[in-house]
Amino acid sequence: MDDGYLEAVLDDTREKMVRAVDHARGELAAIRTGRAAPALVEKLRVEYYGSDVALQQLAGIQVPEAKVLLITPYDKGSLKAIEKAIQGSDLGVNPNNDGAVIRLSFPPLTEERRRAMVKVAHSKAEEGRVAVRNLRRSARKDLEAFEKDGDISSDELERAERELERLTHENVAEIDRVLQNKEDELLGV
């Protein structure tokens, strides 16, 4: 019997789970912690000459101080559009435009705001866990269909399901680790 079916399903699932974890990591990185981090604004969509563009494609983003982000547009004509996008975002900071660069000063988060951000982080992590579990369920359906069609034996199905379980636990644990780091970052002063 050819193990090609099993390996194809497991490899595809492994790849998709890694992407789901990376997505969850990106979502968590974008949560504000009171510290300035380029991830807070990189994906911000800016209306630029009629199209939506990610801020990271329009400007350089630097962190000159722990609580300050410096956004330097590649094209000075995009300053107003970037400023407008920041004001329309949920960052909760006012951009300071000096005509050449935009400075974002992040005030320290209140305890109440930190707790609210931890809740947001938990919901983003749960979305990631659900995505990983959905991938497991989908792969399991594929494997069971192969067994039903006689392409793989019940022993092979059992072995593949154990591997699928191991992959799922590994990826959920990685999401939990990233969440724990974010929570420590949010609650640490």
Provide the pLDDT confidence category of residue 110 given band limits of 50, 70 and 90. Answer: confident
Quick: pLDDT tens for 15-38: 999 999 999 998 888 887 777 788
* Average pLDDT over every residue of 134-143: 95
Between the CA atoms of 63, 68, 74 and 79, what dihedral angle is there, to the nearest 10 degrees? 170
Tell whether the model's pLDDT for residue 87 goes beyond 90: no
Statement: residue 13 has pLDDT above 90: yes
- Give 1's pLDDT tier (boundaries 50, 70, 90): very low
Write down all domains in the chain, each with its CATH number in brackets: 4-29+110-187 (1.10.132.20), 38-105 (3.30.1360.40)
Q: What mean pLDDT is predicted for residues 85-97? A: 83
The pTM (predicted TM-score) of the whole model is 0.72
